Amino acid sequence: MLVDGSWDFGAVFDGASDYVYHIQTDFFRGYISKFPNNFVIFMMEVVLFKFVNFLGIQNFMMAGVFVNVLFIDLAVLFLFLYMKKNYSFSLAILSLVFCLFVTPLFLYTPIFYTDTFSVFLPIFLLYCYSFVQKEPIHSKNFIWVILFGFGTVLGMKLKMTVVIMTIAIFIDLLLRRSFKENLKFVGLFLVACSCALVFFSLCYQYFDQQYQFDESLKIPYNQWIKMGMYQHGGYSSEDYEIYDTMFDFQERLDHNNEVILNRLREYGVGGYFKFLNHKVFYTWGDGTYAVNVKLNRNPRDTSNLLAKIFQGGNEYNIGYLYFANSIHVGMLLLFLIQAVLDFKNGVHQRMIPYLSVIGLFVFLLIWETRSRYLYHYIPIFLVIVVPFFEFVYQKRKQN
């Protein structure tokens, strides 16, 4: 089910491929100037493509897919390790079984972009913190704080919403530890973050010397807030068309702020809450996480029946839509039931996953959104949902 590059996935792939072949284009220079948030995935693809090219492999698309599989498998591995460490081996195995039913987790394999390259990071950060959560920091476990810092910066550079997990962990840290222990944790964390930030800054400067990125082309972050307030709160081509008529960063920033305020006035309090209600359904109401839409963009094989089942826009896809949405709705219902049970029984074990999902929910109410933006939190959803079956088992055992 390979697809040819389109949208941002294709822009980064083409830019990295051109760089390896020493082709410099004004298009990609302009792209990274506009979207510096995609610089790190561009750099990762450059390193990968240069390596496989050195080995005599020139099929960069398959190389990207292969690495994508590794990142997705890492997410599943850290989910298993976390469940085994903090719950039981049987629940760890059950979490693997659940992964098989959340099919978008694997169907995104042909589309290597920030969503999939970051899918292992939220669960990795949670796994790292579990080694220092209930015991003081010492010579045998401080390395996990270092890895936590590196993972946070990598997540911030790949997919900003990964940092929501870091914030949730810091909330737990403040509630759980003494001031002295917090200082140790924060000190090690800041050292790791500083080293990682310096590394990525040097990499950016290296590429900047060759591409000469134009900072004036950068899109202000409030652009995504502006789009998040229009129609269903997703991507808006109209908002981007206006961008091309402005040639100054400050002008774009001021224009976006003005549009945001105007849209708030037009909605009014009641209208805005109604809009947010539609936005929630648009974000959380798609159990495919938009994978069928992405697989249907420039597919290489349009005749394969198996591919048609997962690609959107045809009659063969209907059955899969029902299946994926049923699993998704079931998972959300179990999420709510587990949350109620934990609150009723005073269970705090899953506080960090709850906080991170709540944070993601609130963030996507404000930001430009789509169901794909939930993808890298699938392992966190399973951390919350899977223990429900242990509760059911224990209840039946008591009865």
Question: Where do the domains of the chain lie?
Answer: 7-213+285-398
Q: How far is CA 366 from CA 222, 223, 246, 272, in A?
A: 10, 11, 24, 11
In angstroms, the CA 181 to CA 135 distance is 10
Distance CA 292, CA 325 (A): 12
| CA distance linking residue 57 with residue 120, whole number of Å | 27
Whole-angstrom distance between the N-terminal and C-terminal Cα of the chain? Answer: 48
pTM for the whole structure = 0.92
Q: Token digits for 260?
A: 């945001």
Tell me phi and psi for residue 140, to 5 degrees.
Answer: -95, -15
Alpha-carbon radius of gyration of the chain: 22
Tell me which residue has tokens 């697989």: 295
Give me the pLDDT at residue 236, please.
Answer: 83
Output 185-191 pairs: Cβ under 8 A, ≥24 positions apart: 185/132, 185/137, 185/145, 188/137, 188/142, 188/145, 188/146, 188/149, 189/145, 189/148, 189/149, 189/152, 190/149, 191/146, 191/149
How many Å apart are CA 48 and CA 196, to the nearest integer?
Answer: 19
Residue 70 sits at the vertex; the CA angle it makes with 69 and 74, to the nearest 5 degrees, is 115
Alpha helices by DSSP H, listed for the chain, are: 7-20, 26-34, 39-54, 60-86, 89-101, 104-107, 114-117, 121-130, 142-158, 163-176, 179-211, 222-227, 237-243, 249-284, 291-295, 305-310, 318-345, 351-366, 378-385, 387-398
Reduced to 3 states, what is the DSSP secondary structure of residue 5?
A: coil
Please count the CA atoms within 13 angstroms of the CA of 159 that sit on its side-chain side: 22
Intervals of the chain under pLDDT 70:
302, 312-314, 399
Phi/psi at 3 (5° precision): -125, 145
Q: What is the pLDDT of residue 365?
A: 95
The pLDDT value recorded for residue 399 is 65
CB atoms within 10 A of CB 336: 10
Amino acid residing at 260:
I
Residue with token string 């960063």: 249
Say what the pLDDT of residue 299 is: 73
Given a contact cutoff of 8 angstroms between Cβ atoms, the answer to whether 71 and 117 are in contact is yes
* Amino acid identity, position 383: V
Q: Give dist(CA 94, CA 103) in Å, integer.
A: 15
